[in-house]
Amino acid sequence: MEDPESAPEPQPGLGALRTPAKELLSSRKGQLLLVESVLSFFTFVCYICSNDAAFMTVPLLEFLLALFISSAYLMKLNEKFKGIHWPLWDFIRSGTAAVVYFAISIAVISRTSSAASKAAAVFGFMATVAFALDTYLIFNDLTPFLSGRDSAAAPQTQKKEGDDSDSDSSFSFD
């Protein structure tokens, strides 16, 4: 009779991808990456069908970058390659995507009248919101890194009630 506490050995091959994929898609980051990928793909298809095919580069690049980030998190490359600060790179990616999507959506809405172009602009505005939300959430996670301290490692110091000194008085000129 088998020991009930022993866990079955993980399946080699594609069976090993089930657990990380489920973890990624159930997380907030995974859901945002999925929304970004889908909106970028729909925007890309709409630009292909419209007269404004010149704008198709941004949605295509953002679709591919979102797929790359998703697969990197899926394969846990962020844990294997510690030399890259993945959240900072993702912050730059999502921030620039939000700004560029907003700019091209404004340009397309203001100059064209075709239905496919207007649909692409609407998907572009929705992608702007998704990328901006992702940027905001990543920024909240990056704040300790950007301020030069790690929130988990740095002890919180509180001012005493009678301490009226400002931050400049802590410097010593000895």
Residues 85-96, mean pLDDT to the nearest whole number: 87
In whole angstroms, give the CA distance from residue 109 to residue 88. 32
Alpha helix positions (H), the chain: 18-26, 28-49, 57-74, 77-80, 86-111, 115-146
pLDDT at residue 5 tops 90: no
Rounded (10°) angle between helices 115-146 and 28-49: 150
Other C-beta atoms lying within 10 Å of the C-beta of residue 117? 21
More confident residue, 30 or 103: 103
Q: List Cα–Cα distances, 78 to 35, 37, 87, 99, in angstroms.
A: 21, 19, 9, 25
**pLDDT at residue 128 in the model:** 95
User: Residues 44, 60: contact at Cβ < 8 Å?
Assistant: yes
Does this model's pTM top 0.85? My answer is: no
The per-residue pLDDT for range 57-76, each reduced to its tens digit, is 889 999 999 888 888 888 88
In the prediction, which pLDDT does 75 show? Answer: 81
Q: What would the mean pLDDT of 31-50 be, rounded to a whole number? A: 91
Q: How confident is the model at residue 87 (pLDDT cuts 50, 70, 90)?
A: confident
- Quick one: how far is CA 144 from the chain centroid? 17
* Domain residue ranges of the chain, discontinuous segments joined by +: 24-146
Answer yes or no: is pLDDT of 168 > 80: no
pLDDT (tens digit per residue) in 121-138: 999 999 999 999 999 998
Q: Are 97 and 57 in contact (CB under 8 A)?
A: no
Least confident of 19-28, 32-41, 100-109, 145-154: 145-154
Question: Residue 172 — pLDDT band, cuts 50, 70, 90?
Answer: very low
Q: Is the pLDDT of residue 104 over 90?
A: yes
Average per-residue pLDDT in the chain?
78
